[in-house]
Amino acid sequence: MAIKEGEALPSVDLTEMTDEGPKPVSLSELTKGKRVVLFAVPGAFTPTCSAKHLPGFIEQAGAIRGKGVDEIVCVSVNDAFVMGAWGKQAGASGKVRMLADGNGDFARALGLQMDGRKFGMGERSQRYALVAKDGKVEKLYVEPGPGLTVSSAESVLGGL
């Protein structure tokens, strides 16, 4: 069952690539006392994710923060090395924090995993965005199917 608005985010650690190597990031600590926009993509470097989803949040980062958001986070079921490289290539530094859900634990805990085996991708995350305030889901935007409509940076910005 998928998480719903008003529910608490699961207490899961994600991983971030730093200059010192991969480091765990507590989702509970990340969202404590903050308003965070978190969006998830099926895979780093994939077409829609690289051409539209991540770039949209990078471009709109200032406007989103201007609406009272403390942090913007991109999550994917990839390893921290891939997420770090993708963020670097996309120019995300200082705008969007790139966090890895390497084993898909966060996607499963949210009930927002998807089976990407027919594409050779294994279990991944559905495409979605959410706004969390102090660890609780304030708004949830889950894509109804392939493509990018409801979870785009523009949609999230319009709902803030």
Q: Which residue has the tokens 């859900």?
A: 101
Q: Cα separation of 143 and 129, whole Å? A: 9
**pLDDT higher than 70, residue 116:** no
Q: Is 74 a catalytic residue?
A: no
Tell me the residue ranges of DSSP E strands in the chain: 13-18, 21-26, 35-41, 71-76, 97-100, 113-115, 123-125, 128-133, 136-142
**What is the chain's mean pLDDT, rounded?**
92
Over residues 26-47, the pLDDT tens digits come to 999 999 999 999 999 988 888 7
Residue 9: φ, ψ to 5°:
-65, 145
**pLDDT higher than 70, residue 100:** yes
CATH no. of 13-135: 3.40.30.10
**pLDDT higher than 70, residue 120:** no
Catalytic residue among 17, 40, 44, 49: 49
pLDDT at 48: 81
Whether the pTM exceeds 0.75: the reply is: yes
